[in-house]
Structure 1
Amino acid sequence: MPSSSSSETRPLPVSIPPTSTPLPTLGAGETEKVSPPNEAGEPVVKKHKGLGFWLIILSCCVIDFSTALDATIITTALPKITIELRGQREYVWLANTYVFSSTAVMPLVGQTSNIFGRRMPMIISVILFAIGNALAGASVNAAMLIGARTVTGLGGGGIFVLNDLIISDLVPVRERAKYLGFRIAIATIATVIGPVLGGLLTQVSWRWVFYINLPFSGISLLVMIPFLRLKHKREPTWARALARVDFLGNAIFIGSIVSVLFALINGGTTYPWSSPDILAPLIVGFAGWALFHVHQASSICKEPSVPPLIFGNRTSVICLILTFLSNALLEWVVYFLPIYFQSLKNTTPLQSGVDVLPFSLIYVPLAVITGGLLTKFGKFKPVHWVGFAATSLGCGLLSILYHNSPTVAWVFYQVILSIGAGCTLISILPVIQASLPESYAATATGTFNFVRNFGFIWGITLPSIIFTAKVNQNLHLVQSTEVRQLLANGAAYGYAGTGAIGKLSPEIQTQVHHTYYAALSTLWQVAAGLGALAFLLVFVEKSLELRMGLETDFGMEEEKGKDLPIKESEVVA
């Protein structure tokens, strides 16, 4: 037993006896620091992350950067791509195929990573992402690009789930928000520079919008192949492993979600919401989704990809609802805050992008700080209360912004919104995982990522419905027949960015401002109500302990000579 003055770094002495509940062994490259004994007279051993751990984190961050870049870099290039490939009629599919495939595949990825481990599904996902981008860059027509974006989405969906899951395998629940914060910060950098970089690359060749992701994928694979060595319980044969996959359930789920997403993305744009072309897939999709959950709870399904226990646990259910609401509201702000500046302040799209920087630049550092606070104190309910209270207040304040609102007002309101997003962005997944057995980490993470993406889609769809309906309702305020036609049936969204509002006569411009103000005020009031609902739901969460211990079958493989079990009381953060 080391003396109380010992603080040197060295291997754990063999004489320390194991207990009946040994903790996970040291991962590759990990060392321990023996500190003064605790109150019980036992040594306190601090585990240090080794080189292998940090290389895995690096590879996750690199591919996170690439997937985030892929999602935003295409936005400024897509109009030119559509024209060159003569895909005007397929524009909706070119823009949204990635969303379809990446969202629908997430629960399947979570389940298969339990069966085959994290390593091979992650490597395959990165390869699919790279192949999809290579094919997209080489596309000669719209059909080829749609197929390529489908492959890219399959890889991207797997990367989203597995990156969260690998972090969960490597660090305890209480530390996960901190590492998730690092990844979010890096991905956000890509999100911010993506549209600008897309515009620059398009001037050279739009194909580089896709090819630019290949070096990032290559770097990730070069690190992952030798260092992403994670344990899992292997089945004796491939046939036994494949028999565990819920093929029927995932077929029902993927078909249902694609049907729902088709309706949500095409509704109000390609077809009116009342059209049978929207109502039929929406009804069929939700009916199939309900059937999927019936199947998951039945005796037919031997190993569910979305286990019913996830929805039988009060805290996990509430947190999934909070996930949906927080991400829907995040997209709500990202998509419609620029419309305020373009329509009521008469700014250009570029200037509106600058005007939303108080929100965009602040919420990510706050998310990183939130992760550190969760790690230090292990208390998540105060974070959620502050986050959703700030979101509700911020959205409520946005509803009173008009064309003559001072700069200090809209900057201050964005700061409040950034507090809300910063507190909720990464603090919910660890709570879901803490509320469930560790064996549910993969399926819970897959479900979380699906709900998050589904929230993103509704965060665009729902405010768009409200915005279009309110504009149509108030068109009588505009005396000009020509301008009314330019605003009707969803056209007001694009009209705001043309700069035409500032060229109208003062009288017509005032009428148009009133029309936009009424629509924006209503959608921000609805957003404030959803934020308030989320705030109330936090009361239903249980005050769980965010565990510091890590018990998983999927941690890093140990090196020989570093596999001695240690006592739980001997491990601290």
Structure 2
Amino acid sequence: MASPGTSESVLKGINESMVVTDISAGNAVVESESLRKKRPFQFWAIFVVLCILSFICALDVAIIATALPTIIDHIGGSNVYIWIANSSTIGSCAPQPLYGQLADVFGRRGPFLAAILLFILGSGVAGGASNAAMLIAGRLVQGIGAGGIYVLLDIVCCDLVSLRERGKYLGLMLSWSGLGAAIGPVIGGAIAGSDWRWIFYIDIPICAVPMAVYIWLFPSRKGLTEYKWAQKLLQLDYSGTFLFIASTVAILIGLVMDGTEYPWSSWRIILPLVPGVVGWDIYAAFFRSFTTSIICQCMIFFIPIYLQGVLANKVVTAGVYFLPFAIATLAFAVLSGILLSKFGAYRPIHAAGFAISAIGFGTLTLLNENMPKVGWVFLQLLAACGPGLVLSIILPAILAALPESDVAAATASFSFIRSFGYVWGVTAASVIFNAFIDRNLSVVRDSTTHSLMANGGAYSLASYTYTIKETLATEYWNQVVELYTIGLNAVWWFGLGVSLLSFLVVFLQRGLELRKELDTEYGLEDTES
């Protein structure tokens, strides 16, 4: 680590907007002096790298949704469709807390670069896959890398700015993630029509450039080679990490087969779920992060079902029509970060966000085939306001009660809970949707369509309703629309309930002051002159 004198001189040279207040321990404690003064080039270059990586990881998740039928048509694997779709999720969730521990032992730079390389390697294997097994393996490695990227993105962002300002910068970074998620289905559909392998190959050049910039600019911990590596490695929680990863994988396996590959009553579902839940329950979940992820997934996965299944739009068109929600979510995420930076109070924003989320889900029950475009666009904007306000300021609220030395571990746990909530959001909402579809199948009297919508078929069938509408009589088509509306309303009511529960939990949390000082050995002040 740099000496106090070196740290002070470097600080003056690279960041005039920071003032040294205590460097007695060799760690620079800095405080934001004025937002009017510009941050240095190094700061913005690293932040742009974080935004690009946030974008490509989100794009990778969303881009495969519309292209997967085409991929399976080329290399086979229809019988393991669910594993191709979810192997990346399984790979990314489980090791996230381990990445947090590694970031504390080895610093941020090494684990981050390793995660990027794993993501690139997995992308190359998936792009060159000649069969379903190779594709699943590539997606699994890709997910392990993406999991590390998700964790380190938040950790490095926290290392760059004080707690008071983190909501603003996390919101900006999240906006790039949302952009990737929004345009992913459109890009996936377009690439699949030409050469589906570039859905994965495109990750390689996009990641290689920011990785080079990161190596060039991001500071390494001076004196790290002097650390006693064996002693540091002994500090890792091996038993806890093993239990955590094993429990997570067990739960995810159960959720992936959530009644689609096997019924819920099957021992193949119960066997991994029960020990998985028992093992994972040992760890305290960050409730608001978990429920916010559920709320987001309900909207992200089922508003497009309305646009396709009820309004009978093609996948690409539905992706374009979904942009109001995606863009509004990003705008409100940035807005909440700015408000947090200005006023320093997160509880009122959390309460407002969850309250608006409940209202948004309630108004989504008004969606029907006859609603004009201006109507469903407005409802998307309203629905986006709630989760958008909460997304970027959950992590600062969690870190408010913790010292900077715990940022990596706490951020890794937060990242995992967020990802795990995404899985639960899709699964719980899908189970409810399919259950209400099956319970009301008698509404559809056309025998062929009836069979296609049964046993979870309604979700995938939504992508082809634009062709079904052309072949069905008006009476039968209206029945299809009615059934989709019944299933979607059940999801909206579920989301409303989760939002109200989250709103009530807000009043149980403490309103702590957000630090304006940054005390870390991983910030820019460690860069050599």
Output aligned runs, 1:345-494, within 5 Å. 345-494=311-460
Cα distance change on mapping 1:559 and 1:388 into 2, 3 Å: closer
Which structure 1 residue ranges, 5 or more long, are not aligned? Answer: 1-13, 15-21, 35-42, 294-310, 312-316, 562-573
Q: Distance in 1 between matches of 2:333 and 2:33?
A: 29
Greater shift in the superposed pair: 461-470 or 354-363:
354-363
- Structure 2-normalised TM-score? 0.90
Cα distance change on mapping 1:399 and 1:502 into 2, 3 Å: farther
Q: Distance in 1 between matches of 2:368 and 2:452?
A: 21
Q: Distance in 2 between matches of 1:105 and 1:401?
A: 40
Alignment deviations for residues 172-198 of structure 1 (CA, whole Å, 9 cap, x no partner): 011111111221122222223322322
Conserved in 1, the CA contact under 8 Å of 2:222 and 2:526? no
Greater shift in the superposed pair: 449-458 or 348-357:
348-357
Greater shift in the superposed pair: 106-115 or 534-543:
534-543
Alignment deviations for residues 382-425 of structure 1 (CA, whole Å, 9 cap, x no partner): 21122111110010111232323343432222121121122011
Q: Distance in 2 between matches of 1:494 and 1:425?
A: 29
Match of 1:271 in 2: 262
Q: Does 1:191 align with 2:176?
A: no
Counterpart of 2:498 in structure 1: which amino acid?
A: L
Cα distance change on mapping 1:115 and 1:83 into 2, 3 Å: same
Q: Does 1:338 align with 2:304?
A: yes
Q: Distance in 1 between matches of 2:159 and 2:305?
A: 41
SS at match of 2:196: coil
Counterpart of 1:29 in structure 2: which amino acid?
A: I
Output aligned runs, 1:93-104, within 5 Å. 93-104=83-94
Q: Distance in 1 between matches of 2:108 and 2:119?
A: 16
SS at match of 1:26: helix
Residue 501 of structure 1 and its aligned partner are, at CA, apart by 4.3
Pick from 16, 21, 31 the counterpart of residue 31 of structure 1.
16
Counterpart of 1:533 in structure 2: which amino acid?
A: L
Cα distance change on mapping 1:505 and 1:267 into 2, 3 Å: same
Q: Distance in 2 between matches of 1:120 and 1:157?
A: 15
Match of 2:498 in 1: 530
Pick from 39, 61, 66 the counterpart of residue 56 of structure 2.
66
Match of 2:472 in 1: 504
Cα distance change on mapping 1:205 and 1:405 into 2, 3 Å: closer
Q: Does 1:550 align with 2:518?
A: yes
Pick from 505, 508, 516 the counterpart of residue 540 of structure 1.
508
Pick from 220, 242, 251 the counterpart of residue 210 of structure 2.
220
Match of 1:513 in 2: 481
Counterpart of 2:481 in structure 1: which amino acid?
A: H
Greater shift in the superposed pair: 536-545 or 444-453:
536-545
Counterpart of 1:528 in structure 2: which amino acid?
A: L
Alignment deviations for residues 347-372 of structure 1 (CA, whole Å, 9 cap, x no partner): 33333333333212212122112211
SS at match of 1:540: coil
What is the RMSD computed on CA atoms of the aligned residues? 2.5
Counterpart of 2:187 in structure 1: which amino acid?
A: L
Cα distance change on mapping 1:401 and 1:520 into 2, 3 Å: same
- Structure 1-normalised TM-score? 0.83
Conserved in 2, the CA contact under 8 Å of 1:28 and 1:50? no
Counterpart of 1:50 in structure 2: which amino acid?
A: P
Conserved in 1, the CA contact under 8 Å of 2:10 and 2:527? no
Residue 203 of structure 1 and its aligned partner are, at CA, apart by 3.4
Q: Distance in 2 between matches of 1:99 and 1:368?
A: 26
Residue 508 of structure 1 and its aligned partner are, at CA, apart by 2.7
Output aligned runs, 1:207-356, within 5 Å. 207-231=197-221, 234=224, 236-290=227-281, 293=283, 311=284, 320-356=286-322
SS at match of 2:55: helix
Residue 502 of structure 1 and its aligned partner are, at CA, apart by 5.5
Counterpart of 1:378 in structure 2: which amino acid?
A: G
Alignment deviations for residues 244-266 of structure 1 (CA, whole Å, 9 cap, x no partner): 12222212211111111111111
Q: Distance in 2 between matches of 1:493 and 1:461?
A: 12
Q: Distance in 1 between matches of 2:263 and 2:18?
A: 64
Cα distance change on mapping 1:414 and 1:243 into 2, 3 Å: same
Conserved in 2, the CA contact under 8 Å of 1:231 and 1:557? no
Q: Distance in 2 between matches of 1:215 and 1:101?
A: 22
Conserved in 1, the CA contact under 8 Å of 2:182 and 2:322? no
Cα distance change on mapping 1:23 and 1:552 into 2, 3 Å: farther
Residue 504 of structure 1 and its aligned partner are, at CA, apart by 2.5
Greater shift in the superposed pair: 460-469 or 45-54:
45-54
Q: Distance in 2 between matches of 1:205 and 1:129?
A: 20
How many residues align? The count is: 508
Q: Distance in 1 between matches of 2:479 and 2:65?
A: 31
Residue 513 of structure 1 and its aligned partner are, at CA, apart by 3.0
Conserved in 2, the CA contact under 8 Å of 1:263 and 1:278? yes
Conserved in 1, the CA contact under 8 Å of 2:325 and 2:383? yes
Residue 378 of structure 1 and its aligned partner are, at CA, apart by 1.0
Conserved in 1, the CA contact under 8 Å of 2:186 and 2:320? no
Counterpart of 2:14 in structure 1: which amino acid?
A: G
Runs of 4+ in structure 1 over 6 Å off:
22-25
Greater shift in the superposed pair: 398-407 or 263-272:
398-407
Residue 166 of structure 1 and its aligned partner are, at CA, apart by 0.5
Considering fraction of residues, name the structure with more helix: 2
Q: Distance in 1 between matches of 2:447 and 2:193?
A: 38
Match of 1:306 in 2: none
Q: Distance in 2 between matches of 1:342 and 1:198?
A: 17
Cα distance change on mapping 1:150 and 1:28 into 2, 3 Å: farther
Q: Distance in 1 between matches of 2:14 and 2:100?
A: 27
Residue 148 of structure 1 and its aligned partner are, at CA, apart by 1.6
Conserved in 1, the CA contact under 8 Å of 2:32 and 2:516? no
Q: Distance in 2 between matches of 1:542 and 1:260?
A: 31
Residue 25 of structure 1 and its aligned partner are, at CA, apart by 8.3
Counterpart of 1:95 in structure 2: which amino acid?
A: A
Pick from 144, 148, 158 the counterpart of residue 134 of structure 2.
144
Counterpart of 2:523 in structure 1: which amino acid?
A: G
Residue 104 of structure 1 and its aligned partner are, at CA, apart by 0.5
Residue 557 of structure 1 and its aligned partner are, at CA, apart by 4.0
Cα distance change on mapping 1:94 and 1:24 into 2, 3 Å: farther
Residue 33 of structure 1 and its aligned partner are, at CA, apart by 8.1
Alignment deviations for residues 98-146 of structure 1 (CA, whole Å, 9 cap, x no partner): 1001110100001111111111101111111111112222222222222
Q: Does 1:154 align with 2:144?
A: yes
Same amino acid, percent of matched pairs: 39
Conserved in 2, the CA contact under 8 Å of 1:230 and 1:556? no
Cα distance change on mapping 1:442 and 1:467 into 2, 3 Å: same
Conserved in 1, the CA contact under 8 Å of 2:178 and 2:327? no
Residue 48 of structure 1 and its aligned partner are, at CA, apart by 4.9
Match of 1:128 in 2: 118
SS at match of 1:176: helix
